[in-house]
């Protein structure tokens, strides 16, 4: 008896900037979006903890090729630290490991923030996705192992107090680079202040180049298409929320091409760039046609050479 092939999804492509609700894991969110769009391929650009809410950019189809560009983008978080207790997960999910009756003043916290601004060394939490000898740190931590996770460089562009609603809590906003753990910020500040701390609320506000105007909720997607029972109409309604793959490449030079030039590039050929503003050289550039991403490549002596081609 012949084996039945695995059912393939739709070849839909684009970015869905999900406003992930708290309680939903990033992998679960991707699976949910993949199902809602009937997509054949999906992936996210940067894990967001289950207890956190906010921006989780999810790439579908051809847009998955642009995920690394979003992973490298700056991120903005708003989070609240609960003082007086450190937890093994550095957030509400874990168990308390040490407590203190001390509470920090606003002046003490503000005096500490410069130490956490700029390029700093940071040790990721024990419960993190960092790999240690081939194993995820959170798997080892769940088994009761305490592992040595090496500190690494991260960049904090901006770090400021938003409010102090009471003596036990302080809300911050931070703009940071790739690989920064907000839970580690809470842990390390608490230790230096002598009062200990952990995350009680966390929301990712932005992931560059996307903005809050791009956010879409699960409720909006689930109700798209109204009362129609036609799955094709529902897919069409949901597709309206997608951004083109080129939206992830705003920091690259944008090269609009004619239909003929785009076709040559899709076949893997280089093309001469026309126009007064066409660049002569660029290590990396984004070629588009009719607003759709065609290829990522390099410009050498006015010639665009495709490195990664996208299906139209």
pLDDT mean over 66-73: 93
- Three-state secondary structure call for residue 231: helix
> E strand or H helix at 153, and its extent?
strand 152-166
Cβ neighbours for 219, distance < 8 A, ≥ 6 positions apart: none
- Three-state secondary structure call for residue 185: helix
pLDDT in tens, 272-306: 998 777 888 999 999 999 888 999 999 999 999 99
Positions of CATH 2.30.130.10 in the chain = 252-309
pLDDT in tens, 13-44: 999 999 999 999 999 999 999 999 999 999 99
Give me the pLDDT at residue 5, please.
53
**Domain with residues 252-309, CATH architecture:** Roll (2.30)
Please give the Cα distance from 294 to 262 (Å, whole number): 7
The active-site residue out of 19, 40, 49, 260 is 49
* Secondary-structure class of domain 14-72+210-239 per CATH: alpha beta
* Secondary-structure class of domain 75-207 per CATH: alpha beta
Active site residue 277: no
Q: Indicate whether 110 pLDDT > 70.
A: yes
* Tokens matching residue 212: 């809050």
Positions of CATH 3.30.2350.10 in the chain = 14-72+210-239, 75-207
* 104 CA to centre of own chain: 32
pTM higher than 0.75 for the full model? yes
Please give the Cα distance from 310 to 312 (Å, whole number): 6
Please give the Cα distance from 53 to 36 (Å, whole number): 20
């Amino acid at each position: 008896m012949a084996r039945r092939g695995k059912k393939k999804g739709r070849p839909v492509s684009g970015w869905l900037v999900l406003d992930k609700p708290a309680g939903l894991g990033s992998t679960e969110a991707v699976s949910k979006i993949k199902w809602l769009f009937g997509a054949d391929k999906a992936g996210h650009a940067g894990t967001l903890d289950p207890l956190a809410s906010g921006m989780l950019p999810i790439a579908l189809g051809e847009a998955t090729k642009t995920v690394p560009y979003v992973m490298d983008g700056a991120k903005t978080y708003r989070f609240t630290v609960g003082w007086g207790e450190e937890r093994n997960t550095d957030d509400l999910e874990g168990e308390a490991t040490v407590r203190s009756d001390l509470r920090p003043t606003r002046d003490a916290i503000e005096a500490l923030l410069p130490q956490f601004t700029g390029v700093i060394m940071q040790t990721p939490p024990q419960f993190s996705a960092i790999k240690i000898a081939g194993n995820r740190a959170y798997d080892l931590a769940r088994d009761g192992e305490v592992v040595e996770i090496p500190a690494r460089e991260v960049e904090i562009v901006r770090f400021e107090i938003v409010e102090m609603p009471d003596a036990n809590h302080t809300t911050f906003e931070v703009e940071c680079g790739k690989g920064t753990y907000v839970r580690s910020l809470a842990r390390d500040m608490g230790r230096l202040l002598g009062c200990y701390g952990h995350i009680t609320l966390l929301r990712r506000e932005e992931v560059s180049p996307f903005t809050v105007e791009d956010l879409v909720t699960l409720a909006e997607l689930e109700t798209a298409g109204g009362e129609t029972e036609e799955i094709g109409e529902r897919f069409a309604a949901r597709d309206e929320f997608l951004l083109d793959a080129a939206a992830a490449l705003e920091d690259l030079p944008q090269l609009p091409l004619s239909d003929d030039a785009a076709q040559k590039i899709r076949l893997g050929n280089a093309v001469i760039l026309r126009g007064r503003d066409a660049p002569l050289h660029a290590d990396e550039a984004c070629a588009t046609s009719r607003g759709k991403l065609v290829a990522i490549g390099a410009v050498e002596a006015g010639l665009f050479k495709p490195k990664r081609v996208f299906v139209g």
